[in-house]
Each structure stands twice: as structure tokens, then as C-alpha cells.
Amino acid sequence: MTARSIRSALAQRPRPPAEIIVVDDCSTDDTGSVAADLGARVIWHERNQGEGAARNTAIAHATQPWIGLLDSDDEWLPSLLETLWPLRGDHVAVAGAALYRGPGPGDLRYDGPAGPRPRVLRSPDDLIYPANPLPNSGVIVRTDAVRAAGGYDTTLRFGADLDLWLRLLREGSAIVSPEVVVDYHVHPEQVTQDKAAMSAAQLGILRARTSGSRRARLAIEAWLGGSYWDHARRRQAAGDQAGAVRALAPVLAHPARLAGLAGLLLHRRRMRARTADLAPRA
């Protein structure tokens, strides 16, 4: 996977990145050697420190004014830098849409702005609802801004990306293009497969890192409507009908959550329509 990821960075058109840094977080295979053979600058950790620390090491050693983040299991499309670079302006981050790919040939899901134009994010509150639009592997960030934000919180097992974006948007605005710039490969080993734990972690991060304004509080309640819905669907899929009904009770008891669920289902319908449009080319 690391070789595939590095090759996707080298394949950028019209020219590759100024530098490629790979952090080998004390892996037990030949990840570092493979990366070095492909021309990456490799930094080895003497002991395993986790993905947040590995990303922070790369950020600390970067020499360029902008950093493109790319996880080892994802791929940049050849147009990523060409698409995102002209949008940077005065923003601290620029992102494109992601195409999530499952194991099956037709297992695709678009994730990005629903409309045809780029979306500007002006504050941390803009990341709350209906979903975080910044895919980790499809973002370029201003180096000074991500360092000023403190980099990744290495104590977080879930939601470290969201936590960083919320802090980064205190340094300035971001813009997200609807153009697909990254393939995100879904596989069972990813920590994001633990949906319940991921949702609980995201809720804690949103409450801690957003403004606490009335708008933010209502957006979190709207987000909760979708979270409870997803939990109910998981209970239903497991054959626990009573548990599914109990999971929906908090939604019905709160108008903002009910409205949020309706809005989220509409948002997901738009994402499915966008996925269907992209599928023939994907």
C-alpha cells in the first residue's frame, strides 16, 4: 500500500511534489526500505508512537510552505495538486472531494461538497453538520498554520483529523472543491470501522473544540440526530429491533435532532446521486 501511495504522489501532473516524506513508525515489514527505493525521504521512529505522532514528525521535518497529507492506504489522483493549488489564496487549508472505495468493483461512495462550486469553511463550527468535509488524504495545509495549531493530538485514538481541522480553522479559513482528488481505500483494519467508538469520540471533540454558540449547539444536536439514526440502523442490522427503537427515542424527543436527521438523509441522498454520476468514470 505504501508503494502505491508514494507512486500516486510521484504521478502528479504537471510535476511531482517538491519533496516526499515517509515516516516509518517502527514497522515490522520493509515499509521504510520500499519508500526509500522510490525516492522518498524516510524518517524512522525508534519505537512505535502511533499515527498522530508519525504525522507530526513529518510536519516537523517538512521544508516547504505547504504540506499535502497522504495516508499509506490512500491514493492521490494525478490532478490533486493541479486542482487544489490555484484555490489556496489566503486560506490555511485546501481540500478536494474523496471517492471511498470498498473491496467490490462497484463499492463506491463520493464524499465532498454536494454542489458544483467549492465550499468555504470560515470557522470550526462549519465542520459540525452535516459532516466533516475535509478528507485527511485530500488536503493541503499551510505549514505555518498547522504548526501553530499544534499538529495532531497524539492522545486521540479516534477523530484526530477532525480535532486538528477544528483547531486549524481558528488560524484561518479553508476551501473544499467538489472535484474528486483522492481515492480512499476502505478495509477492515482501519480504526474507523468501529463506528460506535468513532461517533462517541467525534461528539466529545465537537463539544470541546467548537464555539459553544447557539448556532454550534443546534448544529451538534442536528449531528446527534444522524448519529442516533446510524446507531439504530446498526442495531437493526444485528437483529436487535428493540434496541433500534430505543436508539431512535432521543431523536423523536428533540426537534433539532429530528430536523437534523431529515437534513442528513437529504444530504446522503445527494451524495448517492453524485456517486452515481461518477460511477461510470470511476
pLDDT digits 0-9 by tens, 11-26: 999 999 999 999 999 9
Determine contact, residues 133/93, Cβ cutoff 8 Å.
Answer: no
At residue 112, does pLDDT exceed 70?
Answer: yes
With cell 469520540, the residue in question is: 201
At residue 58, does pLDDT exceed 60?
Answer: yes
- Chain region(s) in the chain for CATH 3.90.550.10: 2-192
What is the band of 34 on the pLDDT scale with cuts at 50, 70, 90?
very high
- Give the start-end residues of each E strand in 64-138: 66-68, 74-76, 93-101, 108-111, 119-121
State mean pLDDT over 196-222.
96
Nearest to 79, CA basis, from 89, 66, 92, 68: 68
pLDDT at 127: 97
Determine contact, residues 223/206, Cβ cutoff 8 Å.
Answer: yes
With cell 520493509, the residue in question is: 30
Residue 130 CA to residue 49 CA, distance in Å, equals 32
With cell 436487535, the residue in question is: 240
Residue 245 CA to residue 229 CA, distance in Å, equals 10
pLDDT at 192: 58
Architecture of domain 2-192: Alpha-Beta Complex (3.90)
Residue 272 pairs in a beta bridge with none
State mean pLDDT over 168-180.
98
At residue 263, does pLDDT exceed 80?
Answer: yes
pLDDT at 78: 98
Q: What are the angstrom distances between the C-alpha of 236 and each of 155, 192, 245, 247, 272? A: 33, 20, 9, 10, 22
Nearest to 222, CA basis, from 206, 233, 244: 206
The pTM of the full predicted model, rounded to 2 decimals, is 0.93
pLDDT at 67: 98
State mean pLDDT over 95-105.
91
pLDDT at 189: 67
pLDDT digits (tens, 9 = 90+) for 188-208: 766 556 888 999 999 999 999
With cell 517538512, the residue in question is: 62
Mean per-residue pLDDT over the chain, rounded = 95
Determine contact, residues 202/121, Cβ cutoff 8 Å.
Answer: no
pLDDT at 193: 63
- Percent of the chain predicted with pLDDT > 90: 90
pLDDT at 205: 97
At residue 218, does pLDDT exceed 70?
Answer: yes
pLDDT at 281: 85
